[in-house]
Amino acid sequence: DTGVSQNPRHKITKRGQNVTFRCDPISEHNRLYWYRQTLGQGPEFLTYFQNEAQLEKSRLLSDRFSAERPKGSFSTLEIQRTEQGDSAMYLCASSYHNDEKLFFGSGTQLSVL
Amino acid sequence: SQQGEEDPQALSIQEGENATMNCSYKTSINNLQWYRQNSGRGLVHLILIRSNEREKHSGRLRVTLDTSKKSSSLLITASRAADTASYFCATDADSGAGSYQLTFGKGTKLSVIP
């Protein structure tokens, strides 16, 4: 059973550096989501793709953040010029079209020093 | 912003007891979901209840929904140590544009003591 896969699991970086995370969704799922979760909080929506089209972006997604999903398969989330406030767990999820149930990956824990 | 608010923030019970968690939300919804998260891991979907449903069961889980009070409860019966996790409610706004964005609460941290 190949669930949602995220790499890397952990990333430590220095402030000002760029980082990129990858998400491989469940292969039949055409919807892909990125969420961010800080300690003691629930996940917060960042962005959503249907196939390769990015259909929604949260106000949380500043211009330092960019997400892509080329060919509607895997997705990458890049953060440029990282700040300490970017430290969080970045979660990817996928779902079938018209299915409200999300399947989450294990997340990428980002620490910005 | 967080739409849902779970109550209590933390709950500690003995194995075999029942655990009840509550969730309140602010806007009209199409459905409400409950997810579980083990420490440092991703979330796992537990159950979904639609706005026109009042109660739903799945195994040891029972979910109720009161749209007039904008609240939901999750009951876990006969709890086990393996149920120790954080539990989140998630709602989709009834925007009429299709539901793809979930808004999560802050979660209830459940500890089941063996």
pLDDT recorded at residue A66: 95
Check B48 against A101: CB less than 8 A apart. Answer: yes
If you average pLDDT over residues A70-96, what whole number do you get? 95
What is the per-residue pLDDT for A86?
A: 96
Q: Which of B35, B102, B105 lies at the smallest CB-CB distance from A45?
A: B102
Q: What's the DSSP call for residue B70?
A: T
| pLDDT tens per residue, range B12-41 | 999 999 999 999 999 888 899 999 999 888
Q: What is the pLDDT of residue B1?
A: 47
- Fill in the amino acid letter for B18: N
Q: Is B25 exposed, middle or buried (0-12, 13-18, 19+ CB in 10 A)?
A: buried
Residue A36's pLDDT band (cuts 50, 70, 90): very high
CA distance B23 to B72: 5
Task: Give the pLDDT confidence score for residue B5 in this predicted structure.
Answer: 80
- State what percent of residues in chain A have pLDDT above 90: 82
- Cα–Cα distance between A15 and A38 in angstroms, integer? 18
Q: Out of B30, B100, B105, whose CB is closest to A42?
A: B105
The pLDDT of residue A1 is above 60? no
pLDDT digits (tens, 9 = 90+) for A17-31: 999 999 999 998 999
Q: With an 8 Å Cβ cutoff, is A25 touching chain B?
A: no
Q: Which residues of chain B register pLDDT less than 50?
A: 1, 99
Residues of B in contact with A5 (CB under 8 A): none
pLDDT at A57: 85
B100 in reach of chain A (CB within 8 A): yes
For A35, A90, A102, A103, B13, the CA distances from A48, given in Å and listed in that order, are 9, 14, 12, 14, 38
Instruction: Check residue A98 and give its pLDDT.
Output: 79
